[in-house]
Amino acid sequence: MKDAAIGVFDSGMGGLTVMRALMAGMPSESFVYLGDTARLPYGTKGADTVTRYAVQAVSALVKRKIKLLVVACNTASGVALPALNEAFAPLPVIDVIAPGAEAALAASPQGPIAVIATEGTVRAGAYERAIRARAPKVPVLQQACPLLVPLAEEGLIEGAIVDLAIHRYLDSLLERAPAALVLGCTHYPVLRDAIARIAGPDIVLVDSAATVALAVERRLAQDGLLREGPPMPHRFLATDAAKRFARIGEIFLGQRI
């Protein structure tokens, strides 16, 4: 079972930013990544639809005998986690919301903490619940940014169009002087340079990818499933437009797919 792969799931390419941290942190592990590119974005869809899509996509990973599942999609983590845990128990499931909340509080224990995310994640209040469960008095500000995922999926990570979109969402949020800004969608790290420039040097940007990788490593160690030895091969799957996924996905993963 130690040699079994770790499954990583996202609506598209964004989860590759998490995959990048996982591969760097656990070089002996094998990963199989599934991007549901046929049905993205998840963030504009209702909770029932996202849950149905997530269960169907994860079923494809489970058929590959994975030893742990990483839900590398904030929208699915926010609304589909209970259904995934129920459908695939006893498979260990790690989401991105809880590690993201922990990383945000580590960066800014007193807040205010701002969260930019998809409409679905904001509507579900997932980050607000996770942060306040750990620190009830910390102010949490949220802003949905529906244009950012399509831009990232097109490989548009800099330039005038990107700046206009970021200003549209961040300007009013920045007026409330947050101490930290959570990149509450796994697509957003590829826009990090543009977001950081517009947010300014006084705001800490929080990307949960490294924290997620640590959570996965801890869980595998706890279950006695950490693999040791030489690197293993990885698999990358997409439900549509596989060549485009491989080409643009390199921006997210930082290497060829």
Residues in the chain: 257
Please say if 73 is a catalytic residue: yes
DSSP 35-85: E-TTS---TTS-HHHHHHHHHHHHHHHHTTT-SEEEE--HHHHHHTHHHHH
Q: Residue 189 has what DSSP assignment?
A: G
Six-digit token pair at 240?
């549509």
Q: Which residue has the tokens 């485009």?
A: 244
Catalytic residue (one of 23, 61, 72, 73): 73
Helix (H, G, I), strand (E, B) or coil at 32: strand
Closest-CA residue to 3 (of 31, 25, 22, 23): 31
What CA–CA distances, in Å, run from 31 to 12, 56, 105, 164, 176? 16, 19, 29, 36, 40
73 contacts: CB under 8 Å, gap ≥ 6? 9, 10, 11, 14, 15, 42, 54, 96, 186
Catalytic residue (one of 50, 185, 195, 248): 185
Six-digit token pair at 90?
């006893």
Radius of gyration of the chain (CA): 17
50 contacts: CB under 8 Å, gap ≥ 6? 42, 75, 76, 79, 80, 120
What is the Cα–Cα distance from 48 to 146, expressed in whole angstroms?
A: 19
Region of 119 please: left (phi>0), alpha (psi -120 to 50) or beta: alpha
Catalytic annotation, residues = 73, 185
